[in-house]
Amino acid sequence: MVDEMKRVFVPSVVEEDGGTLGLGCFSTEEVAWQVLRAFLKRSEEMLLTKCSVVMWDVDRVGEEAMTVLSTMECKDCPVCSRRTFWIDLENFSALCHSSACSAWIEENTLNPEIIDCGWPTIRFLKQNKSIDEAVRELYKLGDRLRAAGISEQQKGSAEKMMDEHFADNED
């Protein structure tokens, strides 16, 4: 009988000064991701640069014992300007973990040559030809919101502004 290999999943974040904070050691990947996502919601409170989820095989020696499942970089969000925009360059996805924003970018599920981006607050969705184009679209949206003086309490005004913008562009 072959023993089942035991694995643990370790989420961690890297601070700007290079220090690494381990967020725990979990028996399932799902729990490791839940812990990491919950921590990232507060990422604007710290100077973080990267995060990862690593799978470790227990009782194994050497580099083969670990597999990096995901590594993400932290940037300022193009929409809300908070340092909560986590980018996974390997999987072409990004998500703002600020609960007031949640702007996102990801590959289109039907056509991998298309990059989708959006801002759920006003149901903004745009299809783009590249990641750079998607980031530019989110910056344009953020610039329009800041220019209009939109705050989190004025989301209805944001919807009105976007409706007016799209109506102007249809002509």
Give the pLDDT band of residue 148 (cuts 50, 70, 90).
confident
Q: Tokens 């590959």 identify what position?
A: 107
Q: Amino acid identity, residue 94?
A: A
- Report whether 127 contacts 113 (CB < 8 A): no
Give the pLDDT band of residue 164 (cuts 50, 70, 90).
low
- Choose between 89 and 144: higher pLDDT: 144
Residue of 71, 67, 62 whose CA lies nearest to 7: 67
Q: Amino acid identity, residue 136?
A: R
Q: 121: which DSSP letter?
A: G
Share of the chain above pLDDT 90, in %: 64
52/45 Cα distance (integer angstroms): 18
pLDDT digits (tens, 9 = 90+) for 103-126: 999 999 899 899 999 999 889 999
140/125 Cα distance (integer angstroms): 13
156 has a pLDDT exceeding 70: no
- Report whether 54 contacts 68 (CB < 8 A): yes
115/109 Cα distance (integer angstroms): 9
Q: Which residues pair with 66 in a beta bridge?
A: 56
